[in-house]
């Protein structure tokens, strides 16, 4: 085995964040290296640099490929050098066939025209090699997500890769499919291909990886041969608990009030497979004055639970929901809002009108209360917006500025402001601090605590254990659509949450 | 300096161009600048025609005629803005207007129904057409472009079937007199002054309230900004009205404009329309019932069919099923776009669309005065539209880049 890729002192900053901090990492040929760490640990940024998604010059440090300096300026440049990335989210064109998707932009041609026979023959060979039982002429959109993902992976594996980077490749796969994928990875390893494997699932990491590298806050915390470490050790390194025995304890005084939102036997069905339950019978009580955390790995069903409670899940939902002790039917977000429930989503592109002003966005859910004699009270509306911009310390030059020009943290505060202005009593948040810098994250947590102290009920869905331990008064853990743990924040550790979510004993 | 200018490298030229674009974008961001640009273009065109036509163009008589000529397109453009703002398109306007005209003409001419009743029926017919198309768009989720493309075909077809392709004329005199008549000068000028007074009163009230709430420190700049363009427009209207009065149709347009502007800027419904166009998913997640709001928008578009159809038919005193309103939808959309309505939704002003209609109407009117063949007129309108959309795209890019 020889060293294939090496970074020395790799450092990349974003405004306000040190995403990757002085990382020395070496990957050898024929080696599977797992890269683990919590959200925001710097995994994605590291991958971006290797994959050519970060322009040379935007980071510091040295990068070599087979001992030669290497600075890919684009994905195609990285691919030409043999570095192939399989992204976390599968991008396929649903209306094209499997074969067309596999050769998108690289269609084999004959005398200037697409050589369909060759395209489908090659697609068939790749599918056969990976035992994917799908016709190359099938429409991509007619297949389920796992099959689509397998096809994308198969296509990437069939390229002449020297280093294969897989970013959470197993999130949408079943156990059998994961096993099959691992089989292929081992074959590639035997051929000398190096592999960087990013995952949240520790069980998988310990099954497949030769080496485990732990990142936290952009730095490498541990670099172990898999045989020489334990889950407890890497979890401790991921969360930093070994270093700092107890992070700043949960400051929320659990002066819990009445039950604000209660759900019984909530079942949420997948959109594309109406028989599959994404949430399989969840019962929860959310009290006024508390911040309840909902933790789970990707696919555990936490996000869908919150969306269903807000009436925004596109598929079928069953189960009872009570708000302030009254049974309600929430079929649509407008129902939820009428009953005093608001939702802050992780994807601001879904919830904000980025080209519209701060005022427009903050007051969007409170228009009904601003109507006077049939007309909108524009001055009152402006006043309402300014009040919440000041109260939440939203940093914007004026309330007339387009929301898209604000920083991510301030955009999230605009979302929260919208619901405060609409006077909701229950606020659901899904990963509200994803992509938000550390300072703004702390501000948002402080804001949530203030809301809870004011008697709001807050449900915080997050895949970041550290965030939940820091912000919540109680944390519920979900796995595979079910609740598997329910803990008060006192004495709670990130390790315990991760263990429960991954289904391994502490 | 001259040396370097003569020999600037391509990179330098790019730099200069980029700086120019940057400053343009910065300016664009400062509120409704483009409407002022449009106003500037309009003034330039007017002055040019004034010189070229030896003073005929800006005569009171010609300006009155110009206002009358742009009325129909302006009415249709108002409804175009209200739909495009929600990312919907209506290309059935011309045919729908023709069908409304047929309803009006057949009821009055062939069946002897009294004009008020026939007007009511024609308005209802328009509303029904709008609701029908809105149902297909919001309930079945068919893109509005397709629904109204179909409407464009069968509304026209129905008009021809009902009239058997023949012109139904003449309409009762009262209808024709309404469409071609003028409010006498004295009443016209008085009306302008009264409206101006009401507007000023409203603005003072609003500005005082804003100061009381601490939103502005001083009232005067706010009032000047609100009053200045309106005063200029009122003076122009006063100048024209003093000789001949105001055409009743232009009064109708003014009433529709005021109603639409209030609806769009000062009601919950209008705000929801902008929100839906800005981001439909965000609107839904903020509790707006997107389908129901867009449906009502189409019903209003239907009301606009009714009003526009009645005005157009009465003006020519008869329904010509085959040719009435042909290309009206395209002129309306062009006026809206030139007036700053964004094709991707969320942005657009009623008053901008009126300026857009006036700009295109001025080109037509001026070139007709100069005896420019109609072929050239069409061509020039096309180029104006293209330039306007190019500006729209440039300003948009400046926003998204960040």
Q: Are residues B91 and B142 in the same domain?
A: yes
Among candidate residues A155, A171, A200, the one where a domain is terminated: A155
Helix, strand, coil percentages, rounded to 5, for chain A: 35, 30, 35
| CA distance linking residue A146 with residue A312, whole number of Å | 24
Q: Are residues A146 and A240 in the same domain?
A: no
| CA distance linking residue A193 with residue A32, whole number of Å | 9
pLDDT at B30: 43
Number of domains in chain A: 3
Q: Are residues B253 and B130 in the same domain?
A: yes
Q: Are residues B81 and B105 in the same domain?
A: yes
Q: Are residues A336 and A407 in the same domain?
A: yes
Q: Are residues A96 and A65 in the same domain?
A: no
CB-CB contact of B180 with B173 (8 Å): no
Chain A residue closest in CA terms to B212: A379
Q: Are residues A322 and A387 in the same domain?
A: yes
Which two tokens mark B213?
Answer: 């709430």
Q: Are residues B111 and B160 in the same domain?
A: yes
Q: Which of A333, A370, A400 sits opposite B284 (nearest CB)?
A: A333
- Report the run of H or E that residue B285 belongs to, with start and end: helix B280-285
Helices (H) and strands (E) in chain B, counts: 17, 2
Strand segments (E) across B114-257: 182-183, 246-247
CB-CB contact of B314 with B178 (8 Å): yes
- CA A336 to chain B, closest CA, distance in angstroms equals 8
Find the Cα–Cα–Cα–Cα dihedral A145, A148, A152, A155, rounded to 10°.
160
pLDDT band (50, 70, 90) for residue B9: low
Q: Are residues B114 and B161 in the same domain?
A: yes
Chain A residue closest in CA terms to B290: A334
Residue by residue, pLDDT tens for chain A (506 residues) are 688 999 999 998 876 677 888 899 999 999 999 998 876 678 888 888 888 888 888 888 888 988 888 888 888 888 888 888 887 767 788 889 999 888 887 788 888 898 999 999 999 998 988 888 889 999 988 887 778 878 887 888 777 788 989 887 776 676 677 888 888 888 888 888 899 998 877 778 888 999 999 988 888 988 999 888 888 888 788 877 644 433 444 444 455 678 899 999 999 998 877 888 999 999 999 999 999 999 988 778 999 999 999 999 998 999 999 998 899 999 999 999 999 999 998 788 889 999 999 999 999 999 999 999 999 999 999 999 999 999 998 988 889 999 988 888 889 999 999 999 999 999 999 988 876 766 778 888 999 999 998 889 999 998 888 888 888 989 999 988 999 988 888 888 888 888 888 876 54
Q: Are residues A108 and A198 in the same domain?
A: no
CA end-to-end span of chain B: 34
Q: Are residues B295 and B224 in the same domain?
A: no
Mean pLDDT calculated for residue range B61-66: 90
Which range of residues forms the domain containing residue A397? 259-502
Cβ distance A334 to B271 less than 8 Å, yes or no, reads: no
Among candidate residues A140, A155, A170, the one where a domain is terminated: A155
- DSSP output for A464-491: -HHHHHHH-SEEEEEETTEEEEEEESTT
Q: Which residues pair with A214 in a beta bridge?
A: A36, A222
CATH classification of the domain holding A192:
3.40.50.300
Q: Are residues B218 and B286 in the same domain?
A: no
Q: Is B112 exposed, middle or buried (0-12, 13-18, 19+ CB in 10 A)?
A: exposed
Q: Are residues B224 and B313 in the same domain?
A: no
Chain B residue closest in CA terms to A342: B286
CB-CB contact of B400 with A403 (8 Å): no
Residue B281 belongs to a domain: yes
Q: Are residues A131 and A31 in the same domain?
A: no
**How many CB atoms sit inside 10 A of residue B346's CB?**
24
Q: Which of B267, B286, B400 sits opposite A418 (nearest CB)?
A: B286
Rg of chain A over all Cα atoms, to the nearest angstrom:
24
- Length of chain B equals 402
pLDDT at A80: 83
Residue A302 belongs to a domain: yes
Residue B163 belongs to a domain: yes
Helix intervals (H) in A107-144? 116-129
On chain B, the residues whose CB falls within 8 A of the CB of A400 are: 31
Which CA distances in Å does A133 have to A150, A181, B5? 11, 14, 66
Sheet holding A259-269, edge to edge: A277-287, A259-269, A317-323, A326-328
Cβ distance A354 to B279 less than 8 Å, yes or no, reads: yes
Cβ distance A368 to B272 less than 8 Å, yes or no, reads: no
Q: Are residues B46 and B82 in the same domain?
A: yes
Cβ distance B285 to A343 less than 8 Å, yes or no, reads: yes
Residue A23 belongs to a domain: yes
Q: Are residues A267 and A336 in the same domain?
A: yes
Tell me if residue B27 falls in helix, strand or coil: helix
Residue B387 belongs to a domain: yes
On chain A, the residues whose CB falls within 8 A of the CB of B265 are: 378
| CA distance linking residue A171 with residue A94, whole number of Å | 20
Q: Which residues of A51-69 are buried (b: 16+ CB within 10 A; e: fewer)?
A: bbbbeeeebeeebbbeeee
Q: Are residues A22 and A119 in the same domain?
A: no
Q: Are residues A95 and A77 in the same domain?
A: no
pLDDT more than 90, % of chain B: 64
- CA A465 to chain B, closest CA, distance in angstroms equals 27
What is the separation of C-alpha A233 from the centre of its chain, rounded to a whole number of angstroms? Answer: 24
DSSP symbol at A429: E
Q: Are residues A399 and A489 in the same domain?
A: yes
Cβ distance B285 to A332 less than 8 Å, yes or no, reads: no
pLDDT band (50, 70, 90) for residue B40: confident
DSSP symbol at B106: I
Chain B residue closest in CA terms to A336: B287
Residue B32 belongs to a domain: no
Q: Which residues contact A378 (CB under 8 A, 6 or more apart)?
A: B206, B265, B266
Cβ distance A353 to B275 less than 8 Å, yes or no, reads: yes
Residue A4 belongs to a domain: yes
Which two tokens mark B344?
Answer: 């991707």
Number of domains in chain B: 2
Q: Are residues B44 and B180 in the same domain?
A: yes
Cβ distance A356 to B274 less than 8 Å, yes or no, reads: yes
Among candidate residues B229, B244, B259, the one where a domain is terminated: B244
Cβ distance A405 to B275 less than 8 Å, yes or no, reads: no
Residue B16 belongs to a domain: no
pLDDT digits (tens, 9 = 90+) for B182-226: 999 999 999 999 999 999 999 999 999 888 888 888 888 888 888
Question: Between A and B, how many CB-CB pairs are < 8 A?
Answer: 93
Q: Are residues B334 and B252 in the same domain?
A: yes
Q: Are residues B217 and B289 in the same domain?
A: no
Q: Are residues A272 and A309 in the same domain?
A: yes
On chain B, the residues whose CB falls within 8 A of the CB of A349 are: 279
Cβ distance A379 to B279 less than 8 Å, yes or no, reads: no
- Report the run of H or E that residue A34 belongs to, with start and end: strand A32-36
| CA distance linking residue A75 with residue A54, whole number of Å | 9
- CA A184 to chain B, closest CA, distance in angstroms equals 40
Q: Which residues contact A158 (CB under 8 A, 6 or more apart)?
A: A126, A129
Residue A222 belongs to a domain: yes
Residue A327 belongs to a domain: yes
Residue A171 belongs to a domain: yes
CB-CB contact of A384 with A361 (8 Å): no
A408 at interface of B, judged by CB pairs closer than 8 A: no
Residue B162 belongs to a domain: yes
Q: Which of B213, B288, B399 sits opposite A355 (nearest CB)?
A: B399
Q: Are residues A408 and A323 in the same domain?
A: yes
Residue B4 belongs to a domain: no
Cβ distance B281 to A368 less than 8 Å, yes or no, reads: no
- DSSP output for A385-424: HHHHHHHTT---S-TTSBGGGS-HHHHHHHHHHHHHHTT-
Please give the mean pLDDT across all residues of chain B.
88
Residue B311 belongs to a domain: yes
| CA distance linking residue B353 with residue B261, whole number of Å | 11
Positive or negative, the CA dihedral A360, A362, A364, A366 is negative
- DSSP output for A158-190: HS--SEEEEESTTTT--HHHHHHHHHHHHHHHH
Which range of residues forms the domain containing residue B100? 38-184+245-396
Residue A251 belongs to a domain: no
Residue A254 belongs to a domain: no
């Amino acid at each position: 085995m020889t060293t294939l890729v090496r970074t020395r002192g790799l450092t990349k900053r974003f405004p306000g964040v040190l995403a990757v901090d002085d990382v020395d990492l070496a990957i050898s040929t024929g080696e599977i290296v797992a890269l683990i760490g919590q959200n925001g640990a710097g995994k994605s940024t590291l991958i971006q640099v290797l994959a050519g998604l970060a322009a040379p010059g935007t980071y510091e440090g040295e990068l070599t490929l087979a001992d030669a300096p290497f600075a890919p300026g684009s994905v195609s440049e990285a691919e030409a050098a043999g570095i192939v990335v399989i992204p976390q989210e599968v991008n396929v064109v649903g209306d094209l066939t499997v074969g067309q998707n596999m050769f998108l932009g690289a269609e084999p041609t004959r005398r200037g025209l697409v050589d369909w026979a060759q395209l489908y023959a090659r697609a068939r060979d790749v599918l056969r090699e990976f035992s994917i039982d799908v016709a190359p002429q099938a429409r991509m959109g007619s297949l389920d997500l796992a099959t689509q993902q397998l096809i994308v992976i198969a296509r990437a594996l069939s390229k002449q890769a020297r280093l294969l980077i897989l970013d959470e490749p197993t999130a949408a796969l079943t156990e059998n499919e994961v096993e099959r994928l691992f089989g292929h990875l081992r074959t590639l390893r035997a051929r000398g291909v190096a592999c960087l494997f990013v995952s949240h699932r520790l069980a998988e990491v310990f099954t497949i990886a030769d080496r485990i590298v732990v990142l936290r806050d952009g730095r490498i915390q541990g670099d172990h041969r898999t045989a020489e470490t334990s889950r407890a050790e890497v979890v401790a390194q991921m969360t930093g608990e070994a270093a700092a025995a107890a992070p700043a304890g949960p400051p929320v005084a659990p002066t819990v009030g009445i039950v604000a939102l209660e759900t019984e036997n909530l079942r949420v069905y997948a959109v594309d497979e109406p028989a599959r339950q994404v949430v399989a019978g969840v019962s929860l009580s959310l009290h006024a004055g508390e911040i309840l955390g909902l933790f789970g790995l990707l696919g555990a069903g936490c996000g869908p639970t919150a969306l269903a409670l807000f009436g925004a899940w596109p598929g079928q939902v069953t189960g009872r929901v009570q708000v302030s002790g009254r049974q309600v039917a929430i079929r649509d977000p407008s129902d939820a809002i009428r009953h005093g429930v608001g939702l802050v989503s992780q994807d601001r592109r879904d919830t904000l009108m980025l080209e519209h002003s701060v005022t427009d966005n903050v007051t969007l859910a409170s228009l009904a209360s601003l109507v006077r004699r049939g007309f909108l009270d524009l001055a009152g509306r402006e006043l309402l917006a300014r009040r919440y911009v000041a109260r939440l310390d939203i940093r914007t030059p004026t309330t007339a500025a387009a929301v898209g020009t604000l920083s991510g943290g301030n955009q999230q505060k605009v979302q929260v402001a919208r619901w405060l202005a609409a006077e909701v009593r229950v606020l659901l948040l899904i990963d509200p601090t994803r992509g938000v810098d550390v300072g703004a994250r702390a501000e948002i947590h402080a804001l949530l605590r203030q809301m809870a102290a004011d008697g709001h009920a807050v449900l915080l869905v997050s895949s970041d254990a550290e965030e939940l331990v820091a912000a919540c008064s109680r944390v519920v853990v979900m796995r595979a659509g079910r609740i598997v743990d329910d803990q008060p924040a006192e004495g709670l550790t990130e390790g315990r949450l991760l263990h429960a979510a991954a289904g391994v004993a502490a | 300096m001259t040396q370097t200018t003569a020999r600037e490298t391509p990179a330098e030229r790019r730099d200069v161009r980029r700086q120019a674009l940057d400053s343009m974008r910065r300016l664009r961001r400062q509120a409704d600048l483009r409407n002022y640009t449009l106003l500037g273009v309009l003034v330039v065109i007017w002055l040019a025609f004034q010189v070229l036509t030896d003073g005929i163009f800006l005569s009171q008589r010609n300006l009155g005629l110009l206002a009358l000529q742009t009325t129909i397109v302006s009415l249709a453009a108002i409804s175009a803005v209200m739909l495009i703002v929600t990312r919907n398109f209506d290309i059935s306007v011309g045919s729908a207007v023709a069908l409304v005209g047929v309803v009006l003409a057949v009821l009055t001419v062939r069946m002897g129904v009294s004009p008020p009743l026939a007007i009511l029926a024609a308005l209802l017919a328009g509303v029904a057409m709008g609701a029908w198309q809105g149902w297909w768009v919001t309930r079945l989720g068919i893109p509005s472009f397709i629904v109204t493309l179909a409407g464009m075909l069968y509304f026209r077809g129905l008009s021809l079937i009902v009239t058997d392709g023949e012109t139904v004329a003449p309409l009762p005199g009262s209808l024709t007199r309404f469409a071609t008549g003028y409010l006498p000068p004295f009443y016209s000028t008085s009306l302008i002054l009264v409206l101006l007074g009401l507007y000023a009163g409203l603005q003072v009230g609003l500005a005082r309230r804003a100061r009381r709430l601490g939103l502005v420190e001083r009232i005067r700049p706010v009032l000047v900004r609100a009053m200045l363009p309106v005063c200029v427009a009122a003076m122009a209207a006063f100048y024209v009205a003093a000789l001949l009065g105001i055409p009743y149709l232009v009064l109708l347009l003014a009433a529709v404009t005021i109603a639409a502007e209030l609806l769009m800027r000062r009601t919950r419904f209008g705000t929801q329309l902008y929100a839906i166009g800005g981001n439909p998913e965000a609107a839904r997640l903020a509790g707006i019932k997107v389908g129901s709001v867009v449906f009502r928008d189409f019903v209003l578009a239907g009301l606009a069919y009714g009003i526009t159809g009645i005005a157009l038919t009465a003006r020519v005193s008869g329904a010509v099923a085959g040719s009435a309103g042909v290309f009206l939808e395209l002129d309306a959309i062009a006026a809206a776009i030139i007036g700053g309505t964004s094709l991707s939704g969320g942005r657009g002003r009623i008053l901008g669309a009126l300026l857009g209609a006036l700009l295109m109407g001025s080109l037509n009117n001026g070139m007709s005065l100069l005896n420019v063949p109609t072929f050239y007129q069409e061509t020039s309108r096309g180029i104006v539209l293209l330039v306007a959309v190019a500006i729209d795209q440039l300003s948009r890019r400046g926003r998204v880049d960040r």
